[in-house]
Structure formats: structure tokens, C-alpha cells
Copies of this chain bind each other. A is one copy, B any other.
Amino acid sequence: MSHNIKEIIKNLSVDCVIFGFERGCMEVLLIRRAINPQKGMWALPGGFIKKEEQVLDAAQRVLKVTTGVDDRYLEEVGIFDRIDRYPLWRVFTIAHFALISPKHYALVPGIDTSEVRWFKLSDLPELVFDHQEIIDRALVRLRSRIRTRPIGFELLSKKFTLPQLQRLYEEILGHEIDKRNFRKKVLKLNLLKKLKEVHKTKKGRSAALFMFDTVNYNKLKEDGFIFELS
């Protein structure tokens, strides 16, 4: 056993599906590999777990290196374990998904990475290993979570409008929602504080800006809720 805290565990990695939301579309943050195997191809940000590190800390480290942020919503999705998923030796990876608000963070290619950028979920490039499968499962998880936890908000700026929030839910859930029913339901959660500011859109009427009521927000995050709308 080494006591070098930096030493990595060669058969255990983490990968992060980092979701963002811009201009009405879900996006995923991908990196371009600068090393072999599969040098030059697009992949999920990830890395090996260190000898003295916990899994979630490793995922947080990857998130920090890729986006410069920590302390965002991050959740374990599950283990991916196909025997030949990594070509050089056997690697189990623990997939996570994270929600961040794209505008706010400067992307910096990490070590072993030549490029970082957002891709629309509907327009992903070919990915290395089993990373497409990981994204698919993360998305299933996200869709399920958004119906019982108020995590959708993590994808928006601190101040946001109800039409933005609605488009986010429509995009993730994959179907349209009635505007009046949506507003009724969201406002009844006692989660939002209406601000005096408005958000000017290019065309049409300006939309009122909202923020969370942090107290109720954290309570709801713990307790969960049911969000179902046809």
C-alpha cells in the first residue's frame, strides 16, 4: 500500500455528465482527449479515483477542473462495468450527473485535454468507450429526478423568468406543458420570490424575474415533491 495521496486507483474512475441549458436546449459538456487511447475524440470529463479519495470527491474534482466550479448539484448515477469498455485494461467507472448554468463559468481544458465545449444533447458527436450509454442513463435519471426534486432550478441563473423555467421543464420532460397550469403549480410551491426587475426580451412583453426562497427551497430539496403535468 502506498501512502502517496496522489497515487491513482487504476481500475476505478469517475465520469461526469455535466448538463447545461442554453437558449431552450439541453447541453452536455464534453472534452476532447489529448492522450491515447482514443486521442482526439470527444469524451465525458472524467478521471481515475485517487488512493485516498472518496468517489464523490473525485467527481467534484473533475467538475472543478473542467468548469472551474465546485459545490454544484452532483449525483451518482451508477457503475458502468462492461469488461472491455476501456481498451487497455479493466476500468469500472462511476457515472455522475451535474447541473450547472453554462453562462457563468469559463471552461478551461484540463490536463490531457485539448478542448472543452458544450454540445446540444440533440447533436452530440461520436463518443469514446461507452460514454454515449452513460449520457443516456444520466438523462433517464435526470428526467426521473426532476419530477421529485426541485433540481431544475440548478440549470438556470440566479434570477430567471417563469417562461424560461417552463421551457426547461418542457425540454427535459420532452413534452409541452400548459402555461397556466404550469405557473399555478410552480407558484403554489412557495418556492419563488418575485422580484421587481423584469427581463427584457428581444420581442414582446418583458417577463418578471424570480429568485428562490432559499429556506423553502432547501426544505423541498430534502422532502421531495411530486411534479406531474401533462
The segment from A16-24, A65-73, A74-82 that touches chain B is: A74-82
Interface residues of A (CB under 8 A from B): 1, 9, 11-12, 51-56, 76, 78-79, 81-83, 89-90, 92, 94
Beyond A54-B82, A79-B79: 16 further Cβ-contacts under 8 Å?
A1-B89, A1-B90, A9-B11, A9-B90, A11-B11, A11-B12, A12-B12, A51-B90, A52-B83, A53-B83, A54-B81, A54-B83, A55-B81, A76-B78, A76-B79, A79-B94
Give complex CA distance A94, B94 in Å.
10
A89: chain B residues at CB < 8 Å are 1
A12: chain B residues at CB < 8 Å are 11-12, 92
Give complex CA distance A9, B11 in Å.
9
A56: chain B residues at CB < 8 Å are 81
A51: chain B residues at CB < 8 Å are 90
A181 to chain B, nearest CB (A): 18
Give complex CA distance A92, B9 in Å.
11
Q: How many copies does the complex hold?
A: 2
Closest to A92 in B: B12
**Once the chains bind, are B55 and A92 in contact (CB under 8 Å)?**
yes
5 residue pairs from A and B, CB less than 8 Å apart:
A11-B12, A12-B92, A55-B79, A76-B79, A78-B78
Give complex CA distance A76, B54 in Å.
19
A78: chain B residues at CB < 8 Å are 76, 78
A228 to chain B, nearest CB (A): 8
A52: chain B residues at CB < 8 Å are 83
A113 to chain B, nearest CB (A): 25
Give complex CA distance A90, B92 in Å.
16
Give complex CA distance A86, B23 in Å.
48
A49 to chain B, nearest CB (A): 8
A23 to chain B, nearest CB (A): 32
A85 to chain B, nearest CB (A): 10
A82: chain B residues at CB < 8 Å are 54
